[in-house]
Amino acid sequence: MQTLIEAREIQKVVANLGHQIATEYRDQPLTVLGVLTGSIVFLADLIRTIDLPLRVGLIQASSYRGATTRPLELRINDSLVPDIRDRSVLLVDDIFDTGNTLASLIDIIRHNSPRSIRSAVLLWKTGKATVTIQPDYHCFQIPDRFVVGYGLDYNDDYRHLPYIAALEPRDL
Ligand code: 5GP
Ligand code: MG
């Protein structure tokens, strides 16, 4: 596999994003909502760079392929979401690819009457979106390669890598 983004670079850019969020959310009742499982490493690093009172919650989203010809089907489990009524929600996910996951999550979270909803992603594969929304914050734009590390997996492997790497076809 090929390293695309070094650990040092990730730490620097995530910290900058945390400082920007801290400035923009000052005096707001912030709840950071991490999307399981891919966001866990990004979530843990990001919240420690946001120097504000905040709450942390989790929501689970997973897409899986059904029978071969069926499109990706998205399953969402919102049983872990805390009370977010009138709170400023920042949804944190690992990667924005087609955007289908974030668009669906935002639709569901809206039903819980938050004050606002914005999204932050570590990675953004630009040019692939099938939805009209875009992430409000992102750390890196990347080409259309399958990447792992820093929370992202292949078959639940590689999440612990502190850097982002692209898997070569022979790794799959
Ligand atoms: P979307 O719904 O935006 O198409 O895809 C978002 C989800 O697909 C991500 O949360 C992630 O779980 C998965 N995904 C998309 N691209 C990649 C990738 O390059 N590597 C990994 N590990 N997961 C990906
Ligand atoms: Mg995901």
Q: What percent of the chain has pLDDT over 90?
A: 86
* Catalytic positions, written as ranges: 97
| Contact call for residues 2 and 163 (beta carbons, < 8 A) | no
Ligand with the closest atom to the CA of 159: 1
Cβ–ligand 1 contact at 96 (below 6 Å): yes
Is the pLDDT assigned to residue 140 strictly greater than 80? yes
SS3 23: helix
Flag the least confident range among 58-72, 76-90, 108-122, 152-166: 58-72
Q: Please work out whether the CB of residue 94 comes within 6 Å of at least one atom of ligand 1.
A: yes
Any idea which residue has 């289908």 for tokens? 100
Grouping H, G, I as helix, E, B as strand and the rest as coil, residue 53 is: coil
Q: Is the CB of 38 under 6 A from ligand 1?
A: yes
**pTM for the whole thing?**
0.94
Closest approach atom of ligand 1 to CA 128? 4
Residue 5 confidence (pLDDT) above 90: yes
Nearest CA to ligand 1 atom 4: 98
Query: Which of 1, 5, 95 best tests ligand 1's pocket when mutated (most atoms within 8 Å of CB)?
Result: 95
The pLDDT tens digits of the residues spanning 6-39 come to 999 999 999 999 999 999 999 999 999 999 999 9
Question: Mind listing the domains of the chain with CATH numbers?
Answer: 7-142 (3.40.50.2020)
How far does residue 24's CA lie from ligand 2's centre (Å)? 25
Over pLDDT 70: what percentage of the chain? 95
pLDDT at 69 over 80: no
Dist CA 166 CA 147 (whole Å): 4
